[in-house]
Structure 1
Amino acid sequence: MAKVAIFMGSISDEPIMRPCSDVLKELDIEHVFTVTSAHRTPERTEKLVSDLEADGCQVFICAAGMAAHLAGAVAARTTKPVIGVPIAASALGGMDALLATVQMPPGFPVGTVALDKAGAKNAAWMAVQILALNDPELTKKLADERQKLKDAVIKSAEELTA
Protein backbone atom coordinates (compact mmCIF):
# COMPACT_ATOMS: atom_id res chain seq x y z
CA MET A 1 0.00 0.00 0.00
CA ALA A 2 1.42 3.37 -1.03
CA LYS A 3 1.55 5.84 1.85
CA VAL A 4 2.71 8.69 -0.40
CA ALA A 5 1.79 9.58 -3.97
CA ILE A 6 4.10 11.68 -6.11
CA PHE A 7 2.34 13.25 -9.09
CA MET A 8 4.11 15.16 -11.84
CA GLY A 9 2.30 17.26 -14.40
CA SER A 10 4.66 16.15 -17.18
CA ILE A 11 7.25 13.45 -17.79
CA SER A 12 9.77 16.26 -18.31
CA ASP A 13 9.51 16.83 -14.53
CA GLU A 14 10.87 13.35 -13.77
CA PRO A 15 14.57 14.28 -13.41
CA ILE A 16 13.59 17.09 -11.04
CA MET A 17 11.31 14.90 -8.95
CA ARG A 18 13.44 11.72 -8.92
CA PRO A 19 15.22 12.87 -5.69
CA CYS A 20 11.80 12.92 -3.97
CA SER A 21 11.28 9.27 -4.81
CA ASP A 22 14.88 8.48 -3.85
CA VAL A 23 14.42 9.91 -0.33
CA LEU A 24 11.25 7.87 0.16
CA LYS A 25 12.96 4.71 -1.14
CA GLU A 26 15.91 5.27 1.20
CA LEU A 27 13.50 5.42 4.14
CA ASP A 28 11.46 2.41 2.92
CA ILE A 29 8.30 4.46 2.40
CA GLU A 30 5.95 2.81 -0.08
CA HIS A 31 4.96 5.31 -2.75
CA VAL A 32 3.56 5.82 -6.21
CA PHE A 33 5.53 7.92 -8.72
CA THR A 34 3.51 8.87 -11.79
CA VAL A 35 2.46 11.49 -14.32
CA THR A 36 -0.98 13.08 -14.31
CA SER A 37 -2.13 16.51 -15.37
CA ALA A 38 -4.70 18.86 -13.88
CA HIS A 39 -5.47 20.14 -17.38
CA ARG A 40 -4.74 17.33 -19.85
CA THR A 41 -5.94 14.37 -17.75
CA PRO A 42 -8.28 15.71 -15.05
CA GLU A 43 -10.29 12.48 -14.96
CA ARG A 44 -7.10 10.43 -14.42
CA THR A 45 -6.02 12.79 -11.65
CA GLU A 46 -9.37 12.51 -9.91
CA LYS A 47 -9.40 8.70 -10.19
CA LEU A 48 -5.82 8.39 -8.92
CA VAL A 49 -6.61 10.50 -5.87
CA SER A 50 -9.79 8.58 -5.13
CA ASP A 51 -8.22 5.14 -5.63
CA LEU A 52 -5.04 5.92 -3.72
CA GLU A 53 -6.92 7.49 -0.82
CA ALA A 54 -9.20 4.45 -0.64
CA ASP A 55 -6.07 2.25 -0.50
CA GLY A 56 -4.65 4.22 2.44
CA CYS A 57 -2.45 6.88 0.85
CA GLN A 58 -1.73 9.51 3.52
CA VAL A 59 0.16 12.28 1.67
CA PHE A 60 0.10 13.62 -1.88
CA ILE A 61 3.10 15.39 -3.40
CA CYS A 62 2.36 17.30 -6.59
CA ALA A 63 4.90 18.91 -8.91
CA ALA A 64 4.08 21.13 -11.86
CA GLY A 65 5.39 24.13 -13.72
CA MET A 66 3.87 27.11 -15.47
CA ALA A 67 0.16 27.23 -14.50
CA ALA A 68 0.95 24.59 -11.83
CA HIS A 69 -2.64 23.71 -10.93
CA LEU A 70 -1.95 20.06 -10.13
CA ALA A 71 -1.49 20.50 -6.37
CA GLY A 72 -4.63 22.62 -6.13
CA ALA A 73 -6.63 20.14 -8.20
CA VAL A 74 -5.55 17.35 -5.86
CA ALA A 75 -6.24 19.44 -2.73
CA ALA A 76 -9.78 19.97 -4.05
CA ARG A 77 -10.29 16.19 -4.11
CA THR A 78 -8.83 15.04 -0.79
CA THR A 79 -8.62 16.01 2.85
CA LYS A 80 -5.17 14.40 3.11
CA PRO A 81 -2.10 16.68 3.21
CA VAL A 82 -0.96 17.94 -0.19
CA ILE A 83 2.58 19.19 -0.70
CA GLY A 84 3.30 21.27 -3.80
CA VAL A 85 6.62 21.45 -5.60
CA PRO A 86 6.74 24.34 -8.08
CA ILE A 87 8.85 23.62 -11.16
CA ALA A 88 10.75 26.34 -13.04
CA ALA A 89 9.45 25.52 -16.52
CA SER A 90 8.84 28.90 -18.12
CA ALA A 91 10.49 32.19 -18.95
CA LEU A 92 9.29 33.43 -15.55
CA GLY A 93 11.82 31.19 -13.79
CA GLY A 94 9.27 29.35 -11.69
CA MET A 95 7.59 32.42 -10.19
CA ASP A 96 4.37 31.54 -12.03
CA ALA A 97 4.43 27.98 -10.67
CA LEU A 98 5.29 29.16 -7.16
CA LEU A 99 2.40 31.60 -7.04
CA ALA A 100 -0.05 29.12 -8.57
CA THR A 101 0.95 26.50 -6.00
CA VAL A 102 1.03 28.66 -2.90
CA GLN A 103 -2.05 30.86 -3.53
CA MET A 104 -4.89 28.57 -2.50
CA PRO A 105 -8.35 29.51 -1.23
CA PRO A 106 -9.09 29.03 2.47
CA GLY A 107 -9.94 25.46 3.35
CA PHE A 108 -7.89 23.92 0.51
CA PRO A 109 -4.26 24.38 1.59
CA VAL A 110 -1.21 23.18 -0.26
CA GLY A 111 1.99 23.06 1.79
CA THR A 112 4.45 24.52 -0.68
CA VAL A 113 8.19 23.86 -0.68
CA ALA A 114 11.05 25.33 -2.71
CA LEU A 115 11.42 25.13 -6.47
CA ASP A 116 12.83 22.15 -8.30
CA LYS A 117 15.17 19.50 -6.80
CA ALA A 118 15.57 21.16 -3.40
CA GLY A 119 11.79 21.30 -3.15
CA ALA A 120 11.48 17.69 -4.33
CA LYS A 121 13.75 16.48 -1.53
CA ASN A 122 12.02 18.62 1.09
CA ALA A 123 8.60 17.43 -0.07
CA ALA A 124 9.70 13.88 0.66
CA TRP A 125 11.11 14.87 4.05
CA MET A 126 7.89 16.70 4.91
CA ALA A 127 5.82 13.68 3.90
CA VAL A 128 7.96 11.51 6.17
CA GLN A 129 7.47 13.97 9.05
CA ILE A 130 3.71 13.77 8.54
CA LEU A 131 3.76 9.97 8.50
CA ALA A 132 6.03 9.90 11.57
CA LEU A 133 3.41 11.69 13.68
CA ASN A 134 1.80 8.32 14.39
CA ASP A 135 4.78 6.01 13.88
CA PRO A 136 7.49 5.91 16.58
CA GLU A 137 9.71 3.66 14.45
CA LEU A 138 9.60 6.11 11.57
CA THR A 139 10.24 8.98 14.00
CA LYS A 140 13.45 7.22 15.08
CA LYS A 141 14.46 6.59 11.48
CA LEU A 142 13.87 10.26 10.67
CA ALA A 143 15.97 11.37 13.64
CA ASP A 144 18.77 9.02 12.58
CA GLU A 145 18.75 10.42 9.04
CA ARG A 146 18.90 13.98 10.35
CA GLN A 147 21.86 13.03 12.52
CA LYS A 148 23.66 11.70 9.43
CA LEU A 149 23.08 15.06 7.71
CA LYS A 150 24.47 16.90 10.74
CA ASP A 151 27.47 14.58 10.93
CA ALA A 152 28.23 15.22 7.26
CA VAL A 153 28.38 18.98 7.88
CA ILE A 154 30.68 18.53 10.87
CA LYS A 155 32.94 16.20 8.88
CA SER A 156 33.11 18.72 6.01
CA ALA A 157 34.04 21.49 8.45
CA GLU A 158 36.75 19.37 10.02
CA GLU A 159 38.22 18.42 6.62
CA LEU A 160 38.20 22.03 5.50
CA THR A 161 40.08 23.25 8.55
CA ALA A 162 42.57 20.35 8.58
Structure 2
Amino acid sequence: MKVAIVMGSESDFPVVERGLKILKEFGVGTEVRIISAHRTPDKAVEFGKKAEENGIEVIIAAAGKAAHLGGVLAAVTVLPIIGLPIKSSTLDGLDSLLSIVQMPKGIPVATVAIDGAENAALLAVQILSVKYEDLRKKLKEYREKMAKQVEEKDRELSQKLCN
Protein backbone atom coordinates (compact mmCIF):
# COMPACT_ATOMS: atom_id res chain seq x y z
CA MET A 1 0.00 0.00 0.00
CA LYS A 2 1.35 3.41 -0.94
CA VAL A 3 0.20 7.00 -0.64
CA ALA A 4 1.83 9.74 -2.68
CA ILE A 5 2.10 13.15 -1.10
CA VAL A 6 2.67 15.71 -3.80
CA MET A 7 3.28 19.33 -2.91
CA GLY A 8 3.40 22.32 -5.19
CA SER A 9 6.38 23.88 -3.45
CA GLU A 10 9.09 22.98 -0.95
CA SER A 11 7.62 25.62 1.37
CA ASP A 12 4.60 23.31 1.84
CA PHE A 13 6.72 20.62 3.51
CA PRO A 14 6.40 21.78 7.15
CA VAL A 15 2.63 21.21 6.86
CA VAL A 16 2.94 18.03 4.80
CA GLU A 17 5.40 16.56 7.31
CA ARG A 18 2.66 16.29 9.95
CA GLY A 19 0.61 14.03 7.67
CA LEU A 20 3.67 12.05 6.67
CA LYS A 21 4.27 11.26 10.33
CA ILE A 22 0.75 9.79 10.66
CA LEU A 23 1.12 7.68 7.52
CA LYS A 24 4.37 6.26 8.89
CA GLU A 25 2.67 5.61 12.25
CA PHE A 26 0.12 3.46 10.41
CA GLY A 27 2.83 1.70 8.40
CA VAL A 28 1.68 3.10 5.07
CA GLY A 29 4.34 3.40 2.39
CA THR A 30 4.81 6.88 0.98
CA GLU A 31 6.26 8.70 -1.94
CA VAL A 32 6.83 12.43 -1.43
CA ARG A 33 7.32 14.73 -4.40
CA ILE A 34 7.46 18.42 -5.30
CA ILE A 35 5.51 18.94 -8.51
CA SER A 36 3.93 22.22 -9.51
CA ALA A 37 0.70 22.32 -11.51
CA HIS A 38 1.83 25.61 -13.01
CA ARG A 39 5.63 25.50 -13.16
CA THR A 40 5.98 21.82 -14.12
CA PRO A 41 2.59 20.95 -15.65
CA ASP A 42 3.92 18.19 -17.92
CA LYS A 43 5.54 16.51 -14.94
CA ALA A 44 2.27 16.76 -12.97
CA VAL A 45 0.29 15.14 -15.79
CA GLU A 46 2.90 12.41 -16.27
CA PHE A 47 2.97 11.68 -12.53
CA GLY A 48 -0.82 11.45 -12.36
CA LYS A 49 -1.06 9.22 -15.42
CA LYS A 50 1.59 6.80 -14.11
CA ALA A 51 0.61 6.85 -10.42
CA GLU A 52 -1.53 3.71 -10.51
CA GLU A 53 1.05 1.64 -12.41
CA ASN A 54 3.66 2.86 -9.91
CA GLY A 55 1.73 1.27 -7.05
CA ILE A 56 0.17 4.42 -5.64
CA GLU A 57 -3.36 3.94 -4.27
CA VAL A 58 -4.18 7.41 -2.90
CA ILE A 59 -2.70 10.83 -3.65
CA ILE A 60 -2.58 13.75 -1.23
CA ALA A 61 -2.06 16.96 -3.20
CA ALA A 62 -0.86 19.87 -1.06
CA ALA A 63 -0.90 23.31 -2.63
CA GLY A 64 -1.36 26.93 -1.77
CA LYS A 65 -2.71 30.01 -3.52
CA ALA A 66 -4.27 28.90 -6.86
CA ALA A 67 -3.91 25.27 -5.65
CA HIS A 68 -4.64 23.50 -8.92
CA LEU A 69 -2.38 20.51 -8.26
CA GLY A 70 -5.13 18.19 -6.97
CA GLY A 71 -7.39 19.05 -9.88
CA VAL A 72 -4.70 18.47 -12.48
CA LEU A 73 -3.92 15.07 -10.96
CA ALA A 74 -7.62 14.17 -10.66
CA ALA A 75 -8.08 15.00 -14.33
CA VAL A 76 -5.62 12.30 -15.40
CA THR A 77 -6.18 9.48 -12.87
CA VAL A 78 -9.12 7.73 -11.25
CA LEU A 79 -7.19 7.24 -8.02
CA PRO A 80 -8.63 9.05 -4.98
CA ILE A 81 -7.14 12.53 -4.63
CA ILE A 82 -7.19 14.36 -1.30
CA GLY A 83 -6.63 18.08 -1.62
CA LEU A 84 -4.67 19.69 1.21
CA PRO A 85 -5.02 23.48 1.03
CA ILE A 86 -1.94 25.26 2.33
CA LYS A 87 -2.23 28.56 4.16
CA SER A 88 -0.63 31.20 2.00
CA SER A 89 0.29 34.74 2.84
CA THR A 90 -2.39 36.10 0.54
CA LEU A 91 -5.78 35.11 1.98
CA ASP A 92 -4.77 32.85 4.89
CA GLY A 93 -5.41 29.77 2.77
CA LEU A 94 -9.00 30.56 1.87
CA ASP A 95 -7.90 30.99 -1.74
CA SER A 96 -6.31 27.54 -1.64
CA LEU A 97 -9.36 25.94 -0.03
CA LEU A 98 -11.76 27.39 -2.56
CA SER A 99 -9.51 26.44 -5.49
CA ILE A 100 -9.44 22.83 -4.35
CA VAL A 101 -13.04 22.40 -3.26
CA GLN A 102 -14.62 23.94 -6.40
CA MET A 103 -13.93 21.09 -8.79
CA PRO A 104 -16.13 20.62 -11.85
CA LYS A 105 -18.72 17.85 -11.92
CA GLY A 106 -17.15 14.47 -12.65
CA ILE A 107 -13.63 15.25 -11.39
CA PRO A 108 -13.87 15.12 -7.57
CA VAL A 109 -11.10 16.00 -5.16
CA ALA A 110 -11.76 15.27 -1.49
CA THR A 111 -10.74 18.29 0.54
CA VAL A 112 -9.62 18.76 4.13
CA ALA A 113 -9.16 21.91 6.20
CA ILE A 114 -6.51 24.51 5.52
CA ASP A 115 -3.18 23.05 6.73
CA GLY A 116 -5.10 19.89 7.73
CA ALA A 117 -2.29 17.45 6.93
CA GLU A 118 -3.20 15.12 9.77
CA ASN A 119 -6.76 14.70 8.51
CA ALA A 120 -5.54 14.27 4.94
CA ALA A 121 -3.34 11.40 6.11
CA LEU A 122 -6.11 9.88 8.20
CA LEU A 123 -8.54 10.12 5.28
CA ALA A 124 -5.98 8.32 3.10
CA VAL A 125 -5.74 5.62 5.78
CA GLN A 126 -9.55 5.35 5.87
CA ILE A 127 -9.70 4.96 2.09
CA LEU A 128 -7.02 2.28 2.19
CA SER A 129 -8.73 0.53 5.11
CA VAL A 130 -11.53 -0.52 2.77
CA LYS A 131 -8.99 -2.85 1.15
CA TYR A 132 -6.56 -3.48 4.03
CA GLU A 133 -8.18 -4.94 7.14
CA ASP A 134 -5.05 -4.38 9.28
CA LEU A 135 -5.34 -0.64 8.64
CA ARG A 136 -9.00 -0.71 9.66
CA LYS A 137 -7.99 -2.34 12.95
CA LYS A 138 -5.21 0.23 13.52
CA LEU A 139 -7.65 3.05 12.75
CA LYS A 140 -10.13 1.74 15.32
CA GLU A 141 -7.32 1.52 17.89
CA TYR A 142 -6.23 5.07 17.02
CA ARG A 143 -9.75 6.36 17.63
CA GLU A 144 -10.03 4.47 20.92
CA LYS A 145 -6.72 6.00 22.02
CA MET A 146 -8.01 9.48 21.15
CA ALA A 147 -11.19 8.87 23.15
CA LYS A 148 -9.17 7.72 26.17
CA GLN A 149 -7.01 10.85 25.94
CA VAL A 150 -10.10 13.07 25.97
CA GLU A 151 -11.56 11.16 28.92
CA GLU A 152 -8.27 11.53 30.82
CA LYS A 153 -8.17 15.29 30.17
CA ASP A 154 -11.79 15.49 31.34
CA ARG A 155 -10.90 13.70 34.60
CA GLU A 156 -7.86 15.94 35.13
CA LEU A 157 -9.91 19.08 34.60
CA SER A 158 -12.70 17.87 36.88
CA GLN A 159 -10.22 17.05 39.64
CA LYS A 160 -8.45 20.38 39.23
CA LEU A 161 -11.68 22.40 39.42
CA CYS A 162 -13.24 20.37 42.22
CA ASN A 163 -10.23 20.56 44.55
TM-score by length of 1: 0.94
Matches within 5 A, 1:5-154: 5-116=4-115, 119-154=116-151
* Bigger Rg over Cα: 2
Structure 2 unaligned residues grouped into runs of 5+: none
For residues 144 and 21 of structure 2, the distance between their equivalents in structure 1, rounded to whole angstroms, comes to 18
Q: Secondary structure at 1:45's aligned position in 2?
A: helix
| CA–CA separation in structure 2 for the residues paired with 1:137 and 1:67 | 37
C-alpha displacement of 1:135:
1.6
Q: How many residues are paired up?
A: 159
Q: What displacement does 1:44 show? A: 1.7
Q: Which letter maps to 2:91?
A: L
Aligned residue for 1:158, secondary structure, equals helix
Q: Which runs of 4+ in 1 moved over 6 A?
A: none
| Structure 1, unpaired ranges of 5+ | none
Does the 8 Å CA contact 2:101/2:110 hold for their aligned counterparts? Answer: yes
Q: Post-superposition shift, 1:90?
A: 3.0
Q: CA RMSD in A?
A: 1.1
- 1:64-101 Cα shifts (integer Å, max 9, x gaps): 11100001011011001100011111321111111100
Aligned partner letter, 1:146: R
Asked whether the 8 Å contact 1:65–1:90 carries over to 2, the reply is no
Amino acid at match of 1:37: S
SS in 1 for 2:105: coil
Q: Secondary structure at the match of 2:31?
A: strand
Identity, % of aligned pairs?
A: 47
- Give the deviation of 1:58 after TM superposition: 0.9
Contact residue 48 and residue 74 of structure 2 kept, 8 A = no
